[in-house]
Amino acid sequence: MAFVNNASLALGGHDPRSTDLTEKQEEQILAPVDITRPTGDQPPFEAFLHYARIQRAAELADTRAGSEAEEQHWGGLVKRAFGGGKKVQAVPSDASDASAVGAQGEGEKGEKTYIGPDAEAISVDSGDIAYKALRVASWQSVFYLITTDILGPYSAPYSFAQVGYWPGCIVFFIFGCLAAFTGYLLMYMYGRLDSPQYPVRHFGDLADRIFGKWAKHVCNILRSLQLIFNVGIIVLGNGQGLSQIAKFHVCFTVCIVIWTVAGMIIGQVRTLQKFGWLANVSVFMNIFVILVTMGVVSHQLPNYAASVHPIGPVITQARVVQPFEFQVTGILQLVFSYGGAMIFIDFMAEMRKPMDFWKGMACAQLLITLVYMIFGVVVYSYQGQFVVNPANQGISGYAWQTATNFISLTAGLIAAVLWGNIGVKVIYETVLMTFFRFPPLHTQRGRVAWTFSTIVYWAIAFVIGTSIPQFSNISSLVSAICTVQFTYSFPPLLALGYQVQADAAKGDRVWDPSQPTPFAHRVDSWRDWSRWQRGLWPMLWLKVWYAVMCLASLATAGLGAYSAVAAIIAGFKTGSHASSFGCKSPVDVR
């Protein structure tokens, strides 16, 4: 699994370096965007296209230099690390925003108010205005954020050990190209659906605009699932590292308990913008561990005690022949390497010109692919079948092993706390507040609910880490169920839905915000075959490609989930892995 620098995730994709936000502003940013009209249904698809065109045209006409905004975005990091720095004020950017503020009247701050000629079609609130004020990032900033979000290829050597040199390099390249393609699809759809009237803040919002609320709920559930499993996996990896530092004299379950309790305590902090600089430091910690690992493994024997293979000479192969499920598990580690698509929409929502996202994304994916392959090939070349996941725990010398563990454990705890923070907030905002009427987080009752929610969240992560102490297999399972969907399955599916609706709309009259009813411009409905014909036949080859890619990705996910579960069961049956809630460490198999 790739350890993550989640400075960008501490506020649900909003980089804490960009501004100092109050707790209530954070809550507004994370809160689900409700575009439901007062009549109970959603605005027409054409309304999203209409306002998005206006917004993109305004961005294209904006020729201002971005140096001042970038200074706040980057230079503010150093100032805020020492408690200084200017605060960006959420000021209405134009007259329409000002009128929106005035239209709120005597209602609660942040309460939705419907304005405009079609009074049912447009919703604006103070949170949206503040959100617009945060758009300062350039594509260079996005390059940094994507790289630091994914960079940390501790699982790459394990992937090569499962499939060999050539399959590993080929799969890395193909998956990298497909990840770049799906990233472009997300940018394309974002540019045609996002606007101040109907802001697209997260992946679920994009699914909502195309398929409706059910799709948004699916994305939010999978996102929450991936976040909590990520915390559990990091806690498991940290437990392995701590057991190595203690020379296996401490019960492994106790090692995980230590990290769980630490997360419960630190996770009580609800606002994490003050920790943004610390999260950035963790990036350089991970880079240091990567460089040290490559240097040390070239001069030391493999860590035989952490490997299930019998002691013998190091064997490297162009193509590894072994049971299918183990090869699929290795490939899914590569998929985890490109798992940043889940928050690409969050990055675009931070950009002053989101249509430049492809530049930062393409450069980042290229760099990530090269770094992963180099690191994976180098470590595999020296350790062969004895590669350990994560890779630095395969160092045999206690001094360097302990040094890299201390650094990676610190970086891992930072990542886990930030994952946990955004994970609790996502579940709290999208599930507990929406369906169970929990109080807002900035209230007194909300703070109490946050405390208990954080404890329960980390307790679940503890159960995940200790019940299945198989680092590679559990991360492969999460990759199959969640990561594959956000990176490879959902983008082409959303693109197919978008293109069908956009092509069908070309036969309608022009949508006008002042029309008497929202759907008065349509010449037919989806109950008529004529609309399906207009939607499906134009560029049929492209839509077939989207469908094939989505189905192939879903098949890969299903096969991967089956293989991961089979590998987990086999690990418990053969005794080659640690037992659930046991005292024996997974990296002490001798």
Give the CATH number of the domain where residue 423 resides. Answer: 1.20.1740.10
Residue 449 CA, chain-centre distance (Å), reads 25
CB 385 within 8 A of CB 169: no
Read off the amino acid at residue 291: L
Domains in the chain, number: 1
386 alpha-carbon distance from chain centroid? 30
Range of the structural domain that residue 496 is part of: 139-506+539-574
Is 381 a domain residue?
A: yes
Assign 176 a pLDDT band (cuts: 50, 70, 90).
very high
Most confidently predicted of 34-43, 102-111, 561-570: 561-570
In tens, the pLDDT along 483-500 reads 999 999 999 999 999 999
Sign of CA dihedral 245, 251, 256, 258: negative
The answer to whether the CB of 286 falls within 8 A of the CB of 408 is: yes
Examine residue 157 and state whether it is found in any structural domain, yes or no. yes
Q: What percentage of the chain reaches a pLDDT higher than 90? A: 50
- Please state the rounded mean pLDDT for residues 36-44: 73
H-helix or E-strand spanning residue 114: strand 113-115
Is 90 inside any structural domain? no
Q: Tell whether 373 is covered by a domain.
A: yes
Q: Which residues of 397-430 are buried (b: 16+ CB within 10 A; e: fewer)?
A: eeebbbbbbebbbebbbbbbbbbbbbbbbbbbbb
pLDDT bracket for residue 326 (50, 70, 90): confident
301 is a domain residue: yes
Q: Which has the minimum average pLDDT: 3-12, 151-160, 353-362, 519-528?
A: 3-12
pTM for this model (two decimals): 0.84
432: amino acid identity, one letter: L
User: How far is 444 from 447, CA to CA, in rounded Å?
Assistant: 5
pLDDT digits (tens, 9 = 90+) for 380-415: 999 999 999 999 999 999 999 999 999 999 888 888
Whether residue 441 is contained in a domain is answered as: yes
- CA 289/CA 342 separation, integer angstroms: 26
In 3D, which of 187, 150, 183 has the Cα closest to residue 9?
150
Most confident stretch, 51-55, 62-66, 433-437: 51-55
pLDDT at 77 over 60: no
Q: What is the pLDDT of residue 66?
A: 53
Above 80 in pLDDT, residue 527? Answer: yes
Rounded distance between C-alpha atoms, residue 57 and residue 315, angstroms: 58
Residue 361 lies in a domain: yes
More confident residue, 219 or 281: 219
43 located within any domain: no
